[in-house]
Amino acid sequence: MAKFFSKHKKLILAILFTALCLFIWRVGVHVKLPFIEYSASTSSTNIFGFLDIFTGGALQSFSILALGISPYINASIIVQLLQMDIVPQFAEWAEEGEAGKEKLNRWTRYIALFLAFVEGLALIVGYRVSYNYQFFQYVPNVEYDIFTYIYMAIVVTAGSAFVLWLSDQMSAHGVGNGASMMITAGIIASFPTMMSSLVKYFLSSDPGTYYTDGVLQWQGILYFVLVLLLFFAIIIGVVWMEGLVRKIPVQYSNRPSASRLSGTQDSNIPLKINSASVIPVIFASTLLSFPTTIIGFLENSGHTVSEWWSIVFSYRKPIGFAIYIILIFVFSFFYSFLQINPDKISDNLKKQNAFIPGVKPGEATAQYISKVLFKITLLGATYLALLASLPMIVGLIFTNLPSSVQIGGTSLMIVVGVAIETYKQIKTASQAQDYHGFM
């Protein structure tokens, strides 16, 4: 045992450091914002929906870490979009290697802090307007003016900056990507609540869905087991889909000076079936969550909101669901071609004296890669749409299922994806060996 710990000391310390950072973050989630009193009257309604996933419940509980890592994620997406020749300076930095990457990271953090302040101020004003909200009430005998709101927004911004700093420390000294680990930890923190809700719905007498005359019916046990099996089947399916890769064969022409020493070098261009990962679902869900959040604030403040808005923006309604699926497909193609540039790949192959068998170099190669990327992105977008639709499908089968129960969906895909990447990093670190020469 001592030999094992001495051999993997660095890896064990990295895992412990990651656990410590996550523990500090979870403690901060329960620290309430100043000038807010927590109400004993609680409700299962969550007006934030998908947005609360990224914060591990901090947004719903109105913590000082209410925004979590989400402003940084939004800023990262904005900076990536601005690199598409929208801001020439950003496009130049993207081509400058590590120095340019450092400049882009600095600007990403500036934008993240700005977004955190704006979102925090909007959140605070929204809570103030929504005076009928059941979870919180503002402290009496306190004069709430613009300076009070700005102060509270600065506290929320500082909380978001602290989470960002924690994620950077995890990336530098811990295991895995810090931002991804933060999101994953927040999702995993909701799993006990989900399991408790499942047991309560299928097996408990409260609310008694499958109880008749005080006796649990066999349907409740059967459905509970089937839901658990579906949950694990989805995990296996996500792991399988995330590992699928379409390989485009590439050949490198012989160099004249080395033609007698080496033959034709074969290689390939690996393209993931789901090259956009979970980003399209996050984009689509976020776009639909903002209007529904505003509608929730207005309804809690006593305003009457037309049902038409709920039909359009709620992905649990037919029209909103159709818009949701369309957005997933649109963002899947957009982000896939943003991440994988066929023209750039074609130019790089030409510079390296390489070619795809049966395809002419140059424009023909770019067109061929674009065609392959379009086909696999269509398959990946269909997979994303199906995965994102599962919670709604399960909700239609089991009516009155608690909102905390999410069978499938984006959250499970994020957890599985981050778990796979973290496992690969831990495996690589554990297999690393130091070589001290032959003597």
pLDDT at 306: 59
Query: How many H-runs (helices) and E-runs (strands) does the chain carry?
Result: 15, 7
Report how far residue 261's alpha carbon sits from residue 39's, in angstroms, rounded to the nearest whole number: 78
Residue 406 is predicted with a pLDDT of 64
For residue 413, what pLDDT is reported?
Answer: 74
Separation of alpha carbons 146 and 141, rounded Å: 16
As a whole number of angstroms, the distance between CA 372 and CA 302 comes to 53
Q: What is the pLDDT along the chain (439 residues), one digit of tens a residue?
A: 667 667 777 888 888 888 898 899 888 888 888 777 655 444 444 555 556 666 766 777 778 888 888 888 878 878 877 877 677 888 788 777 788 888 888 888 999 999 989 888 887 777 665 544 444 555 556 666 788 888 888 999 999 899 899 988 888 888 877 777 887 887 787 777 777 877 777 777 666 667 766 667 777 788 888 888 888 888 888 888 878 888 888 887 755 544 444 444 558 888 888 887 777 877 777 777 767 666 666 655 555 655 666 666 666 677 878 888 888 888 888 888 877 888 888 888 888 888 888 888 888 888 988 999 999 999 988 888 888 788 777 777 777 666 666 666 667 777 777 777 787 777 777 665 444 444 4
425-439 burial: b if 16+ Cβ within 10 Å, else e: ebeeeeeeeeeeeee
| C-alpha–C-alpha distance, residues 388 and 375, integer Å | 20
Decide: 356 and 248 in contact? Cβ < 8 Å.
yes
State residue 309's pLDDT score.
Answer: 64
Q: Residue 397 CA to chain centroid, in angstroms?
A: 27
| Alpha helices (runs of H) in 130-252, residue ranges in sequence order | 146-173, 178-189, 191-202, 218-242
The pTM assigned to this predicted structure is 0.73
Residues 1-189, CATH architecture: Orthogonal Bundle (1.10)
Query: Does a cis peptide bond (omega within 30 degrees of 0) precede residue 391?
Result: no
Q: Which amino acid is at 4?
A: F
Q: In the numeric block, which tokens belong to residue 309?
A: 């808005």
Which of 344, 345, 330, 337 lies closest to 374 in space, CA to CA? 337
What secondary structure does DSSP assign to 383-430, as a single string?
Answer: HHHHHHHHHHHHHHHSTT--TT--SSHHHHHHHHHHHHHHHHHHHHHH
369 contacts 342 by C-beta, under 8 angstroms: yes
CA 16, 17, 21, 22 dihedral sign is negative
Asked whether 383 and 412 are in contact (CB, 8 A), the reply is: no
Widest CA span of the chain, in angstroms?
Answer: 88
Structure-token pair, residue 132: 């009928």
Q: Which residues pair with 216 in a beta bridge?
A: 211
Q: Count CA atoms within 13 Å of residue 280 on its CB side.
A: 32
> pLDDT value at position 281?
76
Q: Are 168 and 178 in contact (CB under 8 A)?
A: yes
Burial environment of residue 380 by CB neighbours within 10 A (0 to 12, 13 to 18, 19 or more): buried
Residue 261 confidence (pLDDT): 47
**First and final C-alpha spacing in the chain:** 28
Q: Are 315 and 392 in contact (CB under 8 A)?
A: yes
E runs forming strands in 273-362 = 354-355
If you count them, how many residues does the chain have?
Answer: 439
Specify the DSSP element, H or E, that contains 246.
strand 245-252
Bridge partners for 266 per DSSP = 251
What are the extents of the domains in the chain? 1-189
Question: Quick one: DSSP state of residue 253?
Answer: P
Q: What is the pLDDT of residue 162?
A: 92
The pLDDT score that the predictor gives to residue 114 is 92
Supply φ then ψ for residue 212, to 5 degrees.
Answer: -130, 120
